[in-house]
Chains A and B, each alone.
Chain A
């Protein structure tokens, strides 16, 4: 089983739609969780950290379910500029970050 698994997509949604991405991780000792965003032919950049109680940043909401080892990212009111690949990332202790393969989102006008 892969350490971090994501649905590769692509998710094709119209502008204004709400879209949710899911991610599962296999190592129950994982302690830190993140979503990174990668635009086409660009480097990944941190979108947001994921906290146990869930957290929101504008149109983006991240949730963590430790019991199910599951992370989600919800994007409301999708914009064309949200089109990108979203990478689920987990970390345990002092070990390097582990990246999922990413979920591709295309927002269509």
Chain B
């Protein structure tokens, strides 16, 4: 089954404790992206990757890191989480082939609470 998986689905942590949210897709997609969803703000893109070892900032990259060492995986790293990073996070992937991203397939989301 074609899918995007994220782990964990729920996470409660404390300020400053490093964490990683994993994302994996089995569709051989070139393009992967991380979004955060906050009430009234919609989805805002954090980082995206056009292919292995190629990443770029989205609209809200501050406080986040990513890596793309393998085509299927795109982990989101919070080195020192703060309460303003409490949010619902989505990973997505799509074909791109060097061009614009097409239909994005979304993971189920990770609800993060930073105390």
- The answer to whether A and B assemble together is no
